[in-house]
Amino acid sequence: MSHPALKSRNVAVITGGASGIGLAAAKRFLSLGLRVAIADLPGERLGAAERELGALGVALAVAADISRKDEIVRLETIVRDQLGPVDVLMNNAGIQPGTDVFGPDDVWSAILDTNLLGVIHGTQIFGPGMVARGEPGLIINTGSKQGITTPPGNPAYNVAKAGVKAYTEALQHRLRNTPNCQTSAHLLIPGFVFTGLTANGRVEKPAAAWTPEQTVDFMLESLERGDFYILCPDNDVPRALDEKRILWAAGDIVENRPPLSRWHKDYAGAFERFAKA
């Protein structure tokens, strides 16, 4: 059975819903009979998504900057007034400009405000009402493998997604220990997905990447199993290799290796042997 919150006439809110995984999720939720509100930055992309979704079911598009808490408060009010109380919340909005450990501050702030605080504030604004209603509820927070293995290259993004993982773990612990709570939280951990965020100028999907639709299909299958960690493979990296990478990253602490030893020349051979074992 699917998650009990994913039923006809229920209301879903998806941030970052005008493209990529968010748009694919909106389409799937509409196909299940849900009424869907997407939130994204204002512009033609949001308008095009609203028209596309409106042809599939009851869909509302709200222009909102998720990095601002007052905008999320406004989003909650609009959805409640026009569609009703929320049953499904997908905190999915994210940005990925390049960063360096030494700054600049404005880029770090933009990533943390959107990718981490957007998730926290979205949950804090929508979540208590979902729990208080006593009906089945679903909160999905979009994380990243970069928040678990923290590869070199974009430290601000890694920090934000690591925070999403820690926050969502704490959230689900709280929910499952709340008497009579029927709301559950889940951490979506996409693999390589071809979206506007990852395209980097490419117009054709790389063979290694999944489509957003494949990712959402996997997400729904994982929800049916009751998975908290929705660890998605892709066409290049199977789950077994993801598990090895995650275990190796944890082993840096346990075995007192240098941080990010997977990318350290002195440990390249050791990781290769570990991954094949």
The one catalytic residue among 157, 167, 229, 267 = 157
Alpha-carbon gap, residue 248 to 255, rounded angstroms: 10
Q: Is 157 a catalytic residue?
A: yes
Alpha-carbon gap, residue 7 to 5, rounded angstroms: 6
Torsion angles phi and psi, residue 187, rounded to 5: -105, 110
Alpha-carbon gap, residue 48 to 40, rounded angstroms: 12
Burial class (CB in 10 A: 0-12, 13-18, 19+), 63: middle
Neighbour count for residue 200 (Cβ, 10 Å): 8
Query: Contact, 91 vs 118, CB < 8 A?
Result: yes
Structure tokens at 246: 């995650």
Neighbour count for residue 1 (Cβ, 10 Å): 6
**DSSP states along 80-146:** HHHT-S-SEEEE--------BTTB-HHHHHHHIIIIIHHHHHHHHHHHHHHHHHTS-EEEEEE--TH
Angle, helices 20-31/44-54, rounded to nearest 10 degrees: 20
User: Containing H/E element for 184?
Assistant: strand 183-189
Catalytic residue ranges:
157
